[in-house]
Amino acid sequence: MASVSEMISTVEAAIWDAAQGLMRTPKTLPAWLLYDAQGTLLFEQITELREYYPTRTERALLSEHADSILELTCKSGSLNIVELGAGTATKTGILLSRASRRMDAVLYQPVDVSLTALAIAKQNVEDAIPGVEVVPQLANYVTQPLEIRRVENERVLMLYLGSSIGNFLPWERKALLDNIRRQLRPGDFLLIGVDLLKDKRVLLPAYDDADGVTAAFNQNVLARLNRELNADFDIDGFAHLARWNVGERRIEMHLQCMRRQEVRLLGPDGETVLLTFDPGETIHTENSYKFTTTGIISELSEAGFEGTKVWIDDKSLYSLTLVEAVDQHKRVD
């Protein structure tokens, strides 16, 4: 297994790759870049906002259905939970504490690209739920292989919550779900939370709150580039923009340049790279696709998962879907 410093330098090396999106037209940055230490703390604040219904709705679903989820997935006296993009694991605590009451041993392996999130997750879980062993992994689950610790004859319950799957374009999503399936064995489970398609009057405020926390979260990506790539963005010259793209069924977050800017940043060999931004031009920083239950079930089925159980809140805002990895060779399509 890679050491923590090796893992940190892999994540740092990826920042330059991510910045390549600024040299293309239209300019883009990958969503994972939003999550440095400050971005992680700002996201925590977003989850508490009145406008941001996804976290509290998913938390309520987990709370209501934790016992059913555990009954369906726990086939022995111990449980091995792996969580992709775990963040601070605040919601996961609900499942972990119920599991620790029922099981002799619970192993929890949060995977995240944010070291800050993993440190908080480990502390939160260990303080509140003794008996759960926490083994964090600093990794980008798109570009790096997962190192799942396995316990003999024990199934894995993988969690992918927070509608993080919605950050990916349809073809990226397919590749990611195929990759997740390859990392699991037949009989392992995946519990995935997705934000459902709904009126844009509910969607848009969730990404453009009145207090400006989401704006600060979005703009923070430029502060990260200033710090980590020696860039000189004038951050106040970029405004937060949330758009509903009806054709693609996604919320887009952009940073819109308010006046012409020339920005310098440091390339990988120490050279200076010059970027120009025209007034009105945007950097596309995040997509959040919205789903239908049939849509997500069919994407999971294509990737090699079956046996669907879906839980939806009474306002049909959000869904949790539990599926089992099936033996690809035995599949009847």
Ligand X SMILES: C[S@@+](CC[C@H](N)C(=O)[O-])C[C@H]1O[C@@H](n2cnc3c(N)ncnc32)[C@H](O)[C@@H]1O
Using CB under 6 A as the criterion, which residues of the chain lie in contact with ligand X when the complex forms? 32, 35, 43, 47, 55, 85-87, 91, 111-114, 117, 140-142, 161-162, 164
Q: How far is the CB of 154 from ligand X (least distance, A)?
A: 23
159 or 222: CB nearest ligand X: 159
Q: How far is the CB of 114 from ligand X (least distance, A)?
A: 4
Per-position DSSP letters for 275-300, written without gaps between them = EEE-TT-EEEEEEEE-B-HHHHHHHH
Task: Tell me which DSSP letter residue 85 carries.
Answer: T
Structure tokens given for 328: 């690809």
Beta carbons within 10 angstroms of residue 323's beta carbon: 24
At CB < 8 A and 24+ separation, what contacts does 74-77 make? 74/99, 74/102, 74/103, 75/155, 76/153, 76/154, 76/155, 77/103, 77/104, 77/105
What is the Cα–Cα distance from 159 to 84, expressed in whole angstroms?
6
Q: How far is the CB of 96 from ligand X (least distance, A)?
A: 13
Do residues 160 and 188 lie in contact, with contact meaning Cβ atoms separated by under 8 Å?
no
Say whether 3 sits in a helix, a strand or coil.
coil
Q: How far is the CB of 303 from ligand X (least distance, A)?
A: 17
Q: How far is the CB of 316 from ligand X (least distance, A)?
A: 19
What is the Cα–Cα distance from 274 to 231, expressed in whole angstroms?
10
Q: How far is the CB of 77 from ligand X (least distance, A)?
A: 27
48 or 327: CB nearest ligand X: 48
Closest-by-Cβ residue to ligand X is 162
110 or 263: CB nearest ligand X: 110
What is the Cα–Cα distance from 286 to 28, expressed in whole angstroms?
8
Residue 269, CA atoms < 13 Å, CB-side half-sphere: 0
Residue 209, CA atoms < 13 Å, CB-side half-sphere: 20
186 or 311: CB nearest ligand X: 311
Q: How far is the CB of 165 from ligand X (least distance, A)?
A: 10
165 or 263: CB nearest ligand X: 165
Q: How far is the CB of 110 from ligand X (least distance, A)?
A: 9
45 or 256: CB nearest ligand X: 45
52 or 277: CB nearest ligand X: 52
Q: Is the dihedral of CA 24, 207, 63, 90 positive or negative?
A: positive
- Residue labelled with tokens 């430029």: 222
124 or 140: CB nearest ligand X: 140
Do residues 65 and 94 lie in contact, with contact meaning Cβ atoms separated by under 8 Å?
no
